[in-house]
Chains A and B, each alone.
Chain A
Amino acid sequence: KQEVTQIPAALSVPEGENLVLNCSFTDSAIYNLQWFRQDPGKGLTSLLLIQSSQREQTSGRLNASLDKSSGRSTLYIAASQPGDSATYLCAVNTHNQGGKLIFGQGTELSVKP
């Protein structure tokens, strides 16, 4: 059974710091991994999707990496800003068709001005 774990559960950093969020999964048979951001009481915003054949994806100040063999992914946020404060979720898709995502519990990020 696929399980997804995110460490740490919460993180507080000063503005401008670079930071790394971690995601691990137990079964390496995934088709893709997606990182999301969720603001309190809101839906999920897709940040990055990494296909199983890829090692990393970049979008602006965000860089996500994937090491399928070790069951790990990281989300790197450069030069953090207070507006980055949110909960970050990673999810793996183990189906080659369809949207059955298995989510981690998330990392709650707070960036202090």
Chain B
Amino acid sequence: KAGVTQTPRYLIKTRGQQVTLSCSPISGHRSVSWYQQTPGQGLQFLFEYFSETQRNKGNFPGRFSGRQFSNSRSEMNVSTLELGDSALYLCASSFERGAYNEQFFGPGTRLTVL
């Protein structure tokens, strides 16, 4: 079974621009979560989608948004980029099984904001 895939792997943008990142979950997984990883803050939860609905949300400004499609693929968008948005963005998928809800992560998208 193919793992979680993320595209693109690397992005360079300038302040004020917007960016869209894509995540394809493992086949059969309906939950997709997004995380931001920075050296200073570590891994922080952005949001989670299940069956095209946002189910959980972290403490990030409204510039960060996402969506999920009917095939469970997910995109996240960051508008009006700031230097502090430079980070590794990771998505994870899981097959809902109650307390046995193992998260599988993709390789990440490295975003650099200049």
Bind each other = yes
Taken together as a complex, chains A and B put the C-alpha atoms of A103 and B103 apart, in Å, by 13
Q: Is B94 an interface residue (CB 8 A)?
A: yes
Question: Are B99 and A101 in touch, CB under 8 angstroms?
Answer: no
Taken together as a complex, chains A and B put the C-alpha atoms of A96 and B94 apart, in Å, by 13
Q: Is A113 an interface residue (CB 8 A)?
A: no
Closest chain-A Cβ to B43's Cβ sits at a distance in Å of 4
Q: Is B108 an interface residue (CB 8 A)?
A: yes
Contacts A41-B110, A98-B31, A98-B56; is A46 near B104 (CB within 8 Å)? yes
Taken together as a complex, chains A and B put the C-alpha atoms of A104 and B43 apart, in Å, by 8
Taken together as a complex, chains A and B put the C-alpha atoms of A91 and B58 apart, in Å, by 15
Q: Is B21 an interface residue (CB 8 A)?
A: no
B99 in complex: contacting residue of A51, A99, A103, A104, CB < 8 Å:
A51
Chain B contributes a number of interface residues (CB within 8 A of A) equal to 33
Contacts A98-B56, A99-B48; is A31 near B108 (CB within 8 Å)? no
Closest chain-A Cβ to B41's Cβ sits at a distance in Å of 9
Taking CB atoms, residues of chain B closer than 8 Å to A42 are 107-108
Question: Which chain A residues in 68-89 approach chain B with CB under 8 Å?
Answer: 89
Closest chain-A Cβ to B34's Cβ sits at a distance in Å of 9
Question: Are A99 and B98 in touch, CB under 8 angstroms?
Answer: no
Question: Which chain B residues in 41-74 approach chain A with CB under 8 Å?
Answer: 42-45, 48, 50, 55-56, 58
- The residue on A at minimum CB distance from B93 is A99
Question: Which chain A residues in 89-109 approach chain B with CB under 8 Å?
Answer: 89, 91, 93, 95-106
Taken together as a complex, chains A and B put the C-alpha atoms of A105 and B38 apart, in Å, by 11
Taken together as a complex, chains A and B put the C-alpha atoms of A36 and B43 apart, in Å, by 12
Taking CB atoms, residues of chain A closer than 8 Å to B92 are 44, 99, 101
Binding site for A on B (CB under 8 A): 4, 6, 31-33, 35, 42-45, 48, 50, 55-56, 58, 88, 90, 92-94, 96, 98-108, 110
Binding site for B on A (CB under 8 A): 31-32, 34, 36, 41-46, 49, 51-53, 89, 91, 93, 95-106
